Every structure is written in C-alpha cells, then in structure tokens.
C-alpha cells in the first residue's frame, strides 16, 4: 500500500503524546489505522523539546517494529525547530508517512516537505475556514482535518449547526480540490462509546473519510461507523458489472455518476473496482 493509499483509506488516526514513549508501540498495536505522535496540544510548552527527542529516538531505533504507519503532529510555531530533524528521520524510517500541521489558516502556513512525506493540515479557526478552498487546492496538501475543539473555543460555541457548517466547508473544499476525504475532529468522550459511534456515523454520513481519535477505546466504534457494509459492496460490484452507458440495476437507473459512486464505495472498502 502506498503512502497516499494509507491516508486515503484510513478511518482512524490515534493521538499519543510525545512525552509518553512507553505508549508508542502500544498505540501502533491498538488497531488504529494510523498513529499520530503528538508534539502539540498534548505536550506542555516546557516539555516540547523532550517530546521531540522521544519521537526522534523512537523513529531512529524502532525501524522495523510491527504496527501501523506513523504521523507526527508538529507545532505551527516550531516548524523550523522540528521539521528538519523529522525529515531526516523519515529518510531512514519508512514508517513515518506524513506530517500533521495544526492551525493552518493561510497557504503561507504550509511547509514544503519531501516526496516521502505527505502533508495533512488541520483547519480549526475562523480564518482557516475562510481560506479552506485555497488551502485544499495547494499542491502540498494531501488531506485536511477538522479541529473542532479549537474551533469551538474560538467561536465560543459548540453548536452542532456551526460545526456542521465547518465540516461541510472542509469536505467541499477537499472534494473540489481532488484531495483525500478529510478526517473529522476527535470526540472528547472517552467513556460513552455510543456517543462516539453516533458522532462517527454522522461524520461518515456527511462524507468524511475517517475520524481522529484520542483514546484506544474510541477506535472500535469509529471503525464500526465507517465500515462499508457487504450490502453496499455487493451493490457497487453489481453496478460496475452492468453494461456501459445508462442501465438499470435493481430498478435503479445507472449512469456515469452512479458508476463513480460505486467505484468510491469499493475504494473506501479497500477493494479494487
């Protein structure tokens, strides 16, 4: 699986604080599709250098350890400090596939990365949302994510209407730019998995590709929400097996847009069309 395919098909990306290196391998074995080694919000300012040192040590020593691919979330105000050493580490550790950049508000906030690293930008402010079309269209960006907690703090509101407005803007920007489907903001709930499941189902229904997670317990309900059902897979295969041009499948008119939808279902299921 290529770097881009790993990101495109990922349903969950689990955060683990950079100050907790003892959790790195556990996170990779948790069942999450991807693991995000975090240098930002989960790390106190006084511990930023320690977290970076832990992450670099893990990347340089655990080259062949089993588990899912890795992403590092950097600090937007420490890019000059963190990126050079992370880029060097990525040259010797193919498990590091992407850099997650928080608080992206302008195209000028986007760093240049080598081809072996994809760039994922978090949109989590009013200014970022205002400029989301331009951000998504930048050739450096492979994927966007919604940072709902920071967005709520700035807006002074956790209104579902306001948050869905932001989600739809991010989704439309991603689709029209031709980049990967975005990740939804993580759920703050680490006890009520029914609530996590409901949030993830809502994000899936909106068209998101997956959801960020902050606790291993959230992985299973998010995977459940984003699972492509056997019924949908069978429908997609039947559609794609129909004749070219307009046709009928199960009483439904099938033409090019429906064919594209069917191909998308199989892609999200990790199946070839």
C-alpha span between 102 and 77 (Å, rounded)? 10
Q: Helices in the chain by DSSP H: which ranges?
A: 3-8, 24-28, 48-61, 79-90, 126-130, 132-137, 148-155, 160-177, 193-206, 219-226, 230-241, 256-268
pLDDT of residue 40: 97
pLDDT of residue 232: 62
pLDDT of residue 259: 67
C-alpha span between 206 and 238 (Å, rounded)? 24
Which CATH class, in words, describes the domain spanning 3-228? alpha beta
pLDDT of residue 67: 82
Question: What is the token pair recorded at 34?
Answer: 């991807």
Question: What is the token pair recorded at 118?
Answer: 């994809």
pLDDT along the chain (273 residues), means of 10: 81 97 94 97 97 96 80 97 97 94 96 96 98 98 98 96 98 97 95 96 95 98 84 65 60 66 67 61
With H, G, I as helix, E, B as strand and everything else as coil, classify residue 130. helix
What is the pTM (predicted TM-score) of this model? 0.87
pLDDT of residue 265: 67
What is the residue extent of each domain of the chain? 3-228, 231-268
């Amino acid at each position: 699986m290529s770097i881009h395919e790993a990101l495109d098909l990922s349903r969950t990306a689990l955060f683990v604080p950079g100050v907790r290196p003892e959790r790195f391998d556990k996170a990779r074995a948790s069942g999450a599709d991807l693991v995000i080694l975090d240098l930002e919000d989960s790390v106190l300012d006084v511990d930023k250098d320690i977290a970076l040192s832990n992450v670099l040590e893990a990347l340089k020593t655990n080259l062949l350890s089993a588990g899912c691919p890795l992403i590092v979330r950097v600090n937007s105000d420490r890019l000059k400090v963190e990126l050079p050493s992370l880029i060097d580490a990525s040259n010797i550790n193919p498990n590091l596939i992407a850099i997650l950049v928080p608080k992206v508000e302008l195209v000028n906030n986007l760093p240049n990365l080598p081809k072996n690293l994809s760039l994922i930008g978090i949109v989590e402010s009013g200014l970022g949302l205002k400029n989301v079309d331009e951000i998504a269209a930048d050739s450096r960006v492979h994927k966007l994510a919604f940072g709902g907690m920071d967005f709520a703090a700035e807006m002074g509101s956790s209104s579902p209407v306001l948050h869905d407005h932001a989600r739809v803007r991010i989704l439309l920007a991603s689709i029209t730019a031709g980049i990967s489907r975005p990740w939804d903001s993580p759920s703050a709930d680490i006890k009520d998995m029914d609530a996590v499941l409901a949030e993830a189902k809502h994000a899936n229904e909106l068209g998101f590709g997956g959801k960020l997670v902050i606790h291993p317990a959230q992985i299973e309900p998010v995977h459940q929400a984003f699972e492509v059902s056997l019924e949908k897979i069978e429908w997609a295969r039947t559609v794609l097996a129909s004749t070219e041009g307009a046709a009928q499948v199960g009483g439904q008119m099938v033409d090019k847009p429906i064919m594209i939808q069917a191909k998308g279902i199989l892609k999200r299921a990790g199946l070839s069309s």
